[in-house]
Chains A and B, each alone.
Chain A
């Protein structure tokens, strides 16, 4: 009798455990019900067609330190590009020192991946490269890659200084640098003193259209003696 009672107690205990276990499993499977907020309705937004010089982030870039004796090397230097016949403007606009965001100051290259290249004349130690694509409108240029080399065809001795091509559109490798919104400050890239004669900048359209634009490119460094 005692044995039977013991067996019954054991069976009841196992049943309780199984039931509790199955309850725990049910709880584990329960779908988390989230009450997500709905979008707010709002009237027709502002229509923007007029260029302006508004800075989107509103944060000024902090001071950037360079070695004493660093000067602008790219002023008036020759520029070449993948698009030999720009849609608007001249390639010489890139190094003419004029950085206004208005019409007449930028060069427009064709759609899709394109590059421009500044020839500094001889290898120099580079300490800053600043690029202004188009700063009269809040937009982001795609797949910006900045490279330097002593080879004008960029086949050998290529150093990549900046790459935000996250999906390898340009075929130059996946980049981990961040995309950025164009402002009148331009984008500063730190070459960390690398020596090179040619600076090549790639892009592949922007968030407003598929074209590529440059207002100015400035390359700073210490002239070779």
Chain B
């Protein structure tokens, strides 16, 4: 492949990734977890407050990396931010991930890098979670940065790349404490590669001082960002120690997964074949098949003139070990597969690149490309469906505990009622629901002045003093009894099987219905 063709094709892949990741970022209702992260970020944005929580929310990097974006968009309060402000952060990291592939030059052939870029750009899994305000895609980005800079370091033996690798490792840890699983898989892959590597001609040994200096640079570069971020820039000195103590929490949770328990083959099945009810078939088997081909090529003698089998073998061992580790943990959510999925994409890129190179004649190359084109087109179609059509449909395998589209009707009703209430957005709203049936209400009601949250109706005081009461379905009966007559009730879906009830003073509800009818006589219904 010519340099010009390489650049042109890579730019096309990058542009595709950018479009798939950044267009209509507000299309999907905020997920429970995204709303949790957003409210946590709100404390940092409005009051400069962040305190690491060893029980939940993972590392601080997401919040601190969102801060400049919010400032740039002139958002000074959480109420001024919207879904796009927040989701653009993982979207940009999900796009920049492709740029890191360029650093694999010398380990992966040009055709392999371009192929991996296209596969990453069109991957439904990578795209879906690049549009999701949680830590996962940041973790994948810093993981790729660590592997790429590690590779560059092996090639150059420069202090600079050792420091960059350290920075990436530190940011991985500051993103998710559970990155220690990935550090283990990386170390394991390096060890296996060393054991199985054919004996090569002895190389000039590195001076001990240089090795110590580079190791120190790596460790310092890893420690400083993790230390600063976990300690909230030294305001919470025990933050870093808490992150280590959190291992106990997360490993307990991993072992006693409870509602997130899945069989060991969950990730493999999700990638290869997912179909629920009357929904469409989802499969990324194309990427998995190419990854298998790419792995086989890694053990062949012919690495390609600009490739190196050592990197591909390392990627193969890492992917295998990371996939095994994540599969053996009973706690599984679809976004947890992304780190080893990165390895699959790079291996698949190698597979596609090597197939491309296999043809010595132009006609053979054309035939190989023609055979791969339907796979790429299918991937693009699934990517579009996952992110712009079925983004909240439970038949989509990446939709997990997602807020229903119906929930937006509840938010719309509250807005309509506030419009006719004399206090408008300062009307008193009481939310009575268990925590897992409360979110994303705190995000959706962030610009209302008086909202209180209780997990028990008995603790919520006199419910009648509120203009609007929102309750879980389980509390709907006691809330209705407490309120008595004169209140209009309606139900709205929060998630599949989870319904919220709204109680509105009858005169307010009637005003809201009249107001809407007057605004647009042709538009009726919720």
Contact = CB atoms under 8 A, between A and B. Distances in A.
Given A37-B454, A45-B259, A139 B477 contact: no
A85 interface: no
A179 B491 contact: yes
Given A56-B473, A181-B473, A43 B495 contact: no
B453 A37 contact: yes
Given A179-B490, A204-B525, 18 more contacts: A34-B428, A37-B453, A37-B454, A39-B435, A40-B438, A40-B455, A41-B57, A42-B56, A42-B436, A44-B33, A46-B260, A47-B260, A56-B473, A140-B492, A140-B493, A142-B525, A179-B491, A208-B406
Given A41-B435, A46-B259, A171 B401 contact: no
B439 interface: yes
Given A36-B450, A39-B39, A171-B524, A44 B32 contact: yes
Contact of A167 (B400, B441, B513): B513
| Top 3 A-B pairs, shortest CB-CB distance | A207-B493, A36-B452, A169-B525
B360 interface: no
Interface of B: 32-33, 36, 39-40, 53, 56-57, 253, 259-260, 276-278, 333, 394, 400-401, 404-406, 428, 431, 435-439, 441-442, 450-455, 473-474, 477, 488-493, 495-499, 509, 513, 516-517, 524-526
Interface of A: 34, 36-49, 56-57, 88, 103, 112-113, 137-140, 142-143, 166-169, 171, 174, 178-179, 181, 204, 206-209
Nearest to B494: A207
A159 B425 CA distance: 41
A40 B455 CA distance: 9
B491 A181 contact: yes
Contacts of B32: 44-45
A85 B79 CA distance: 46
A103 B491 contact: no
A178 B485 CA distance: 12
Contacts, number: 137
Contacts of B526: 142, 167, 169
Contacts of B253: 43
15 contacts: A39-B39, A40-B438, A41-B53, A42-B439, A43-B56, A46-B401, A46-B436, A56-B473, A112-B525, A139-B497, A166-B490, A168-B517, A179-B489, A207-B493, A208-B496
B435 A48 contact: no
A36 B451 contact: yes
Contacts of A41: 36, 39-40, 53, 56-57, 435
Given A44-B32, A47-B400, A178 B499 contact: no
B435 to A, nearest CB: 4
A101 B40 CA distance: 41
B385 to A, nearest CB: 16
Contacts of B513: 166-168, 174
Contact of A44 (B39, B260, B394, B493): B260
Nearest to A49: B394
B453 A39 contact: yes
